Each structure stands twice: as structure tokens, then as C-alpha cells.
A and B are shown apart, each in its own frame.
Chain A
């Protein structure tokens, strides 16, 4: 047995996944087993220069433009940018606007998790190339996915005007508020899919998780009163606790020749992970009671340092997100109001929890309302170092396995992080 393993190793010193499927965007993985192992996540998606061409654009165009950074999380980019611009220009928004933003972001997080769990991650665990081939064996699961995603997209579209690249969301508020009866109708649908959400957690708990532990620090946005989405302080499992405005003093970016995405790290510390698992590790107690009970049922405990469990964490957020949307809609009434305008200038920044983790935007706006400087750091840039570190450790632990097995493990790990390479090369 041992000789066979050695033979395989000698025969295959290099493993390459040249265009990783079922992730958003374009990247490849290279593993060089004889070098220790040396692993590179090559993000070859062409750079898109949003920070470059936003300079010279007007403040009220920015939300519409940055939503085009990502097809899965347009709402997050839009919301983060708009909040940063409001801070720069001194625009105060109403409580209603903040509530609507929260629903908008939660609905998108749930929809994004559903896509990731069923269409991108699940085929790995049952040996399929993609969801199309899975139809006969998993018709129930696929029907569940489509039903739930439809309702969540409808909710995003109700508030945003359109689920992908919303149009009503502007600095200062929303240009249109949906009529009361449409909230009643969506509420009914949300309640219908609530029981399905619990099935999602069960589906994901059946994936089976490779035994692996990562020593990463987990970073998330936290707030004393609730499970923070759009506002809060940046905290970590290793004691970080800073205001969003101190982000640039704490987080640094660097770039490497093999990727157009930048790598982010915490100054004088190591790599870190953001995303659903990081959120649960930092603020598990802020979840709804029923979500916590469900977590117990599937033996999910925090702190949890297995990055493969990001999938399970996402499924718990699906349950929690739907319940929070229901509560937010039930406990508020929404009325037409004017979009607030003010021609201030200055610098502003904002951080939110995108589906894939902490997202940071900052802008400098001049007196004409024109962007002079833009800075965007996406969740996948935050996770970049951590993904590479975990890949290294994973391969080191599984060196005796076959080439195909190592390759699949690597792909599974990268997908568990739910990276978005399109975002990362913004």
C-alpha cells in the first residue's frame, strides 16, 4: 500500500485544476506536491478597475455602477456604497430606510446561500458534475431550491424593483415603497417556505464533512442588539474589536503576480476568514432561538474551525434570514417618503455582511458630488490568504491520497469558502 502511494506521488508531482467550475468567476488551483506542498490559487479573471473608473462619476450613479461588480450579491455592493456615500455627504436616512435595507440584504443573503449550497457545492458531495445531472435522484431537493429562491428573489424585487441590480435604492432612501397588499402576499409566501428552510439544514448536514481544522481568525460585523448585517463594529474570535472607520488602519492589501485579486491581511497578524462560519463563530447567540435549536439538532457548535462547515453555517443562516424577514415585515408599516438629498462633501466608509462575508467600501466625494477616490475590499480578498493556507494544510494532511482525491478535496474546500472571483477582481 505504502509503495503504491509513493508511486502515485512520484508520478504526479503537480495537480492542476485549470478552470475551477461551479464558482463565480475564473480561477485555477495549482498544487506542487514536491515543493512542500506549494499551492497557488490563480485568479485569472481579468481585472475590471471599478475603483479606477468610479473616479469622476457622480455620487448618485455609484450604487447603480457598483451593483454590477457582482451578479449574486449586487444588493450588498449597492448598500455598502450608498451607506459610505451618505456618511461622506452627511445624509441621514430614516429608520424605515434602514429596515428596508435590512430586508433587502437578508433576502439576498438567503438567495445567494441557496444557490451556493445546492448548485455550486452539493454536486461535489454526491459525485455529480452539476445540478442538471442530479435531477432524477434529487428532484425533491431541486424543487425546494427553486421554490425558495423564487420567493426570496420576489422579496428582493419587491423592495428593489428588480432582484438583480435593484433600481429603487438611492443615497438618501428608496424612490418607491411597495403597496401594503404586496407585503401581505409576500409574508404569506415566506411563511410557506419556512418549513422548507429547515429541510435545507438537514440536506446540508447530510453532505458529510472532511475532517479538517483551520487555525484562522474569524472576522465579522457585530452589534450588541442584533445579528449585524449593515451596521456594527468589526470583531474577531481573537479579540479584534474596531470601529468601521478604523478599517484601513487595521487591514492591509497586497498583490501578487499570479492573481488579479488582492490579498488582505490584518496588520501584524495572520490571515483570517469571513463569511457565514465567521459570523456564527462571532455572534451565534444573536441568532433566533429556533435557529439555535436547529443547530443543536445537527450537532453544530461554536467555535467551529472546520471551513467545510461554512456550508452548514450558511444553511442555518437561510433559516434565520427567512424568520427575520418575516418579523421585520410583520412589525413595521411602510409608507412613501422622500429620498433625502444633501450636497455635502467629504470622506465616508461602510462595512456590511455580504453573503460571502465582510465587504468594505470607502469614497471621497468633492463639492460637486463627484467621486475623487474609491476603495473597495471584497469578501474573497479577505479570504484569499486563508483559502491558500487551508489548501496547503489540507494537502499536507492528505498527501498519501490519490491524485483525484486530492483534487476533489481541494475543489470542495475552495467551494466551501464560497468565493466570488468576479467580485475579487472588481
Chain B
């Protein structure tokens, strides 16, 4: 792939479009990136273009909440060499998946009087439907992982994504542990690193916006929160803000 400019397609499903913004305004690197890669399809950046591929890389942001999105996603998989979910919504459900904690009809009824034209289903990450070739995590997605991805594509090497928890970054920063020292309910121990331990370095507990770390011990952390005096509902909310559909955080998601 290093002999020609890789072609990139960017697709958006249910989300805030913040990751696409991170991508487009990849500020100091933006001009270099456009020279090295060819953006073949990105609705927010340019008109025209085709969504039919083929793409070297398809970047997908947003959670899947409707059937047509699944149909399109499968087509994208067929015509793309690599499919990479970008940002928490596409990686682990993210904020859109909070709605999975209630009955779909209840949630819909609170917003629309007539729900007969709504075709929404429970929110799911991309890898529930198609095979993916890596994850660019973060809410919004992190620059470090994105840079790693672009460089890897250009060099035709395997991307090295961070696979440890936020706690490691706190230690690297020499930050005081907000959980142990201040008794704040911090999601750092079960959350994938990449943000540089942003919240703890700003005097607040991590709220898990980068989504679950692989093999996270959610049960132990939930029990710890319980000992610290959090109610079952509070613990449930912590583990469903950014990873409702994931297996990793399921052990923290009990209401009673």
C-alpha cells in the first residue's frame, strides 16, 4: 500500500459527528494527511464522491440503531480492505447505547407522541455486525491512535493500539489516585487508556468515555464502589454511560 495513496471512505451513523470533526480538522497534520491519502467519500467534508468503494480503509463513526445502517455497513465491508470503527459509539456503543437500559418504546414515547414512524432498535457497536480490523477509541477519538492508524497504513504495518487501562496513564503522569486517595468512584481501572488520564488530572473521577478495556475486572470495581457507599443504581449508571452493550462491563450492570 505504500506505493500509492490509500483511499479512505468515512461513514456516519448515530452519533454527534465529533469524530469526523476530529478527523477533518486533524489540525497540524491535515495538509500532510490529504497529500498522503485520498478521501474518496466523506459527506461532511465534500459533495459528490461515491459510497460504493473500493476503499483501502473505511472509517465508521456512530452506533448502529437502524436496519438500513446494517445493510450499508455490510456493503462497505465487502468493498473495503480495512474497516475501522472510530470513537466510542462505533467501538462500544457509547452514549447512544444508554437507551438500551430502558424499553425501546418507553424511550421513544418520551420524545415522540406518534412512534409509528420510528424504526429505531437497540444501539450496537459496529463489530456486532461485521468483522473489524482494529479500533480507534475515544470520545472523541484520540489523536494518538488515529496517528498510529494512518502511519501504519502508510507503512503497511500492523497498528499498535493501546491496550491497558487509564490507571497506567495516571501513574505515568504521577497523578494522585482519585479513587484510593479521595474516594471518588473512578472508572479508570476498567477503562481503556488513550486520553492521558484526562479527568483524574483535572481533579475528577474518570467516567469511562473511552469504553471498556479488554479483560477489565468490572465486578471487582463494582464491589469496591458498593463498599464506598454507592447505591446499586449509581453503580449501574457508571457502567452504562459508555459501554452498555459490551461484555466487559456487564458484571457492573446489575440494578438490584
Given contacts A53-B102, A123-B46, A161-B198, contact A46 B66 (CB under 8 A): yes
Chain B positions 161 through 193: 1 when the CB is less than 8 Å from some CB of chain A, otherwise 0: 000000000000000000000000000000000
CB distance from B178 to the nearest CB of A (A): 10
Q: Tell me whether B237 and A422 are in contact (CB under 8 A).
A: no
Given contacts A53-B102, A255-B112, contact A61 B207 (CB under 8 A): yes
Residues of B5-55 at the interface with A, using a CB-CB cut-off of 8 Å, are 12-22, 24-25, 27-28, 30-31, 34, 39, 43-49
Residue of B nearest to A64 (CB): B207
B160 at interface by CB-CB < 8 Å: no
B34, B99, B241: the one within 8 Å of A49 (CB): B99
CB distance from A388 to the nearest CB of B (A): 19
A210 at interface by CB-CB < 8 Å: no
CB distance from B171 to the nearest CB of A (A): 19
B14, B17, B46: the one within 8 Å of A131 (CB): B46
B17, B30, B107, B198: the one within 8 Å of A52 (CB): B107
Given contacts A49-B111, A119-B45, contact A165 B139 (CB under 8 A): yes
Please measure, in the bound complex, the distance between the C-alpha atom of A24 and the C-alpha atom of B17, giving whole angstroms: 7
Chain B contacts of A68 at CB under 8 A? Answer: 15-16, 18, 94-95, 139
CB distance from A253 to the nearest CB of B (A): 10
Q: Tell me whether B21 and A22 are in contact (CB under 8 A).
A: no
Residues of A11-57 at the interface with B, using a CB-CB cut-off of 8 Å, are 19, 21-26, 45-49, 51-53, 55-57
Q: Tell me whether A168 and B202 are in contact (CB under 8 A).
A: yes
Chain A contacts of B207 at CB under 8 A? Answer: 61, 64
Residues of B68-90 at the interface with A, using a CB-CB cut-off of 8 Å, are 69
Chain B positions 93 through 131: 1 when the CB is less than 8 Å from some CB of chain A, otherwise 0: 011101101100011111111100110100000000000
Q: Tell me whether A165 and B140 are in contact (CB under 8 A).
A: yes
Chain A contacts of B203 at CB under 8 A? Answer: 175-176
Chain B contacts of A53 at CB under 8 A? Answer: 98-99, 101-102, 107
A72 at interface by CB-CB < 8 Å: yes
Chain A contacts of B16 at CB under 8 A? Answer: 68-71, 74, 422
Q: Tell me whether B98 and A176 are in contact (CB under 8 A).
A: no
Please measure, in the bound complex, the distance between the C-alpha atom of A56 and the C-alpha atom of B47, giving whole angstroms: 40
Residues of A342-377 at the interface with B, using a CB-CB cut-off of 8 Å, are 370
Q: Tell me whether B45 and A22 are in contact (CB under 8 A).
A: yes
Q: Tell me whether B204 and A170 are in contact (CB under 8 A).
A: yes
Please measure, in the bound complex, the distance between the C-alpha atom of A52 and the C-alpha atom of B237, giving whole angstroms: 15
Q: Tell me whether B18 and A165 are in contact (CB under 8 A).
A: yes
Given contacts A48-B14, A65-B241, A68-B94, contact A129 B139 (CB under 8 A): no
Chain A contacts of B30 at CB under 8 A? Answer: 146
Please measure, in the bound complex, the distance between the C-alpha atom of A14 and the C-alpha atom of B43, giving whole angstroms: 23
Q: Tell me whether A167 and B21 are in contact (CB under 8 A).
A: no
A257 at interface by CB-CB < 8 Å: yes
Q: Tell me whether B46 and A64 are in contact (CB under 8 A).
A: no
Given contacts A49-B99, A65-B95, A175-B202, contact A22 B14 (CB under 8 A): no
B209 at interface by CB-CB < 8 Å: yes
Chain B contacts of A49 at CB under 8 A? Answer: 99, 107-108, 110-111, 120
Chain B contacts of A48 at CB under 8 A? Answer: 14, 65, 96
A91 at interface by CB-CB < 8 Å: no
Please measure, in the bound complex, the distance between the C-alpha atom of A193 and the C-alpha atom of B112, giving whole angstroms: 45
Residue of A nearest to B38 (CB): A132
Chain A positions 268 through 295: 1 when the CB is less than 8 Å from some CB of chain B, otherwise 0: 0000000000000000000000000000
List, sorted by A's number, 14 A–B pairs whose CB atoms are closer than 8 Å: A21-B43, A21-B44, A26-B43, A47-B111, A49-B108, A52-B110, A53-B107, A64-B241, A72-B17, A130-B45, A146-B27, A161-B202, A255-B112, A422-B16
Residues of A within 8 A of B (CB): 19, 21-26, 45-49, 51-53, 55-58, 61, 64-65, 68-72, 74, 115, 119-120, 123, 129-133, 135, 142, 146, 149-150, 153, 161-162, 164-165, 167-168, 170, 175-176, 255, 257, 260, 370, 411, 422
Q: Which 3 A-B pairs have the closest CB atoms?
A: A130-B46, A71-B18, A52-B107
19 A-B pairs besides A21-B47, A71-B18, A167-B198 with CB distance below 8 A are A19-B43, A22-B43, A23-B44, A24-B44, A45-B14, A49-B120, A52-B99, A52-B108, A64-B207, A64-B241, A68-B18, A68-B94, A71-B20, A120-B44, A130-B46, A132-B46, A146-B28, A175-B204, A411-B47
